[in-house]
Amino acid sequence: MPGVPYIFGNATTSIPLTNLDANFNTVATLGNAAIGLGNTTTTVGNLTLTNVTISSGSVTNTAISNGSVTLGNTAVGLGNTATSLGNLTLANPTIQNGTQSNVTITTIQEPTNVSATAANGTINMDLLNNAVLYLTSNATGNFTVNFRGTSAVTLNNTLPSNTSITCTVLTTQGATPYYNSALQVDGSSVTPKWQGGTAPTAGNASGIDSYTYVITKTANATFTILAAQTQFK
């Protein structure tokens, strides 16, 4: 046969595949790589492997190594670390204990708005921004607390039905004290249930009055509020 350097019938040793001409050099295609018989390839792409066992080596995927995931409002690059996440809803979370100097510590931090203003008029409590509002100037009049998500988002659209949120308003009092006389949710009046069954009728002079509220959404735009006033001096 033309082009074949050996005669098969008279061969006394194995014939290398590289000695066969192009008619015998059948090409096998793996993924996107064409491999001639007797040749070697080190790169194969677009290949699907089923039930694969990798005994050694490494795998590099540029798309994965350069990718990121978004948790809440934070994009976290794979392999990186994030210490702060926002707008994240956790279902049935578990808070783990930390250890410092062989002492076990469990802490929950709540965002607090410390404002050098006086309690008076209507105070907007933006619950998407903070759980505690601390007014450090002496109150100048009785005040209404209006609970909302933010100035642009209602609490009704923030809080699902059958859920609750707890928050605190700290009001600094001077020699003439004032008190929380009314409550609102998204600008609409809500009559709270006060601890002990009686709403406060005065503040406490020369100290800090702490008002704690448990707000439960029972249906669309329907809220039950449990409120308590505590004096600190």
Position 158 in a domain: yes
Instruction: State how far the Cα of 199 lies from the Cα of 193, in Å rounded to an integer.
Output: 8
Based on the fold, state whether residues 13 and 125 are members of the same structural domain: no
In a domain, 201, yes or no: yes
Beta strand 208-219 with 163-172: parallel, antiparallel or unpaired?
antiparallel
33 and 118: one domain?
no
Same domain, 151 and 228: yes
| pLDDT for position 51 | 79
Q: Do 212 and 121 have their domain in common?
A: yes
Give yes or no: residues 129 and 226 share one domain: yes
How much is the pLDDT for 79?
75
Q: Sheet harboring 193-194: ordered strands across?
A: 112-118, 132-137, 163-172, 208-219, 222-232, 193-194
Element (H, E) at 34: strand 33-36
pLDDT of residue 31: 80
Q: Is there a domain that residue 71 lies in?
A: no
**154 inside domain:** yes
Count: domains in the chain: 2
Q: Residue 118 sits in which domain range?
A: 112-232
Asked whether residue 99 is assigned to any structural domain, the reply reads no
Show the CA angle centred on residue 60, arms to residues 55 and 63, nearest 5°. 140
pLDDT tens over the chain, length 233 residues: 455 554 555 666 666 655 655 555 667 787 888 877 667 888 888 888 887 777 777 766 665 556 778 887 788 877 788 877 777 777 666 666 666 666 666 677 889 999 999 999 999 999 999 999 999 999 999 999 999 999 999 999 999 999 999 999 999 999 999 999 999 999 999 999 999 999 999 999 999 999 999 999 999 999 999 999 999 99
The answer to whether residues 19 and 119 belong to one domain is no
Residue 85 domain-assigned (yes or no) = no
Q: What single string gives the DSSP state of each residue in 84-110?
A: ---S---SS--PPPEEETTEEE-----
**Both 39 and 116 in a single domain?**
no
What is the model's pLDDT at position 6? 47
* Residue 125 domain flag: yes
Indicate whether 139 and 226 sit together in one domain: yes
118 and 39 housed in the same domain: no
Do residues 33 and 138 both lie within one domain?
Answer: no
Give how far Cα 74 sits from Cα of 67, 109, 149, Å: 14, 19, 20
pLDDT of residue 66: 63
Query: Residue 73 domain-assigned?
Result: no
Verify that 38 and 143 share a domain, yes or no.
Answer: no
For residue range 53-112, what is the model confidence (pLDDT) as tens digits?
A: 777 777 666 655 567 788 877 888 777 888 777 777 776 666 666 666 666 666 778 899
